[in-house]
Amino acid sequence: SQQGEEDPQALSIQEGENATMNCSYKTSINNLQWYRQNSGRGLVHLILIRSNEREKHSGRLRVTLDTSKKSSSLLITASRAADTASYFCATDGPYKYIFGTGTRLKVLA
């Protein structure tokens, strides 16, 4: 069964706008990761946030984590056409990673 559920399933925005996607999970975690997948390619790691962190930044990416609500959000600021991809959250388990079903982001030029 899937641990993470991303919301929305699909998102379409104009270039320059911000994109926000959310991930909810079911059990307690040690860390949560976000990955990007371009069409026809493997996943690429974006950012890892540990359970004792509330917010983390990497370039145009901002990730928040609320362990009390078992949820995380990924914000992409000033989006570009190259940000068009699917985005997945992944939570840790004993020697395992558990992925959500992903958000498909389309950035229109």
Partner 1 sequence: NAGVTQTPKFQVLKTGQSMTLQCAQDMNHEYMSWYRQDPGMGLRLIHYSVGAGITDQGEVPNGYNVSRSTTEDFPLRLLSAAPSQTSVYFCASSLVGGTMPQHFGDGTRLSIL
User: Which stretches of the chain bind partner 1, using CB under 8 A?
Assistant: 1-2, 4, 30-31, 33, 35, 40-45, 48, 88, 90, 92-102
Extended beta strands in 51-102, E state: 55-58, 61-66, 71-76, 85-93, 96-99
To partner 1, the closest distance from the beta carbon of 16 in angstroms equals: 29
To partner 1, the closest distance from the beta carbon of 96 in angstroms equals: 6
Q: With beta carbons less than 8 A apart as the criterion, state whether 98 and 2 touch.
A: yes
Q: How far apart are CA 64 and CA 56, in angstroms?
A: 6
To partner 1, the closest distance from the beta carbon of 68 in angstroms equals: 22
For partner 1, the closer CB: 63 or 90: 90
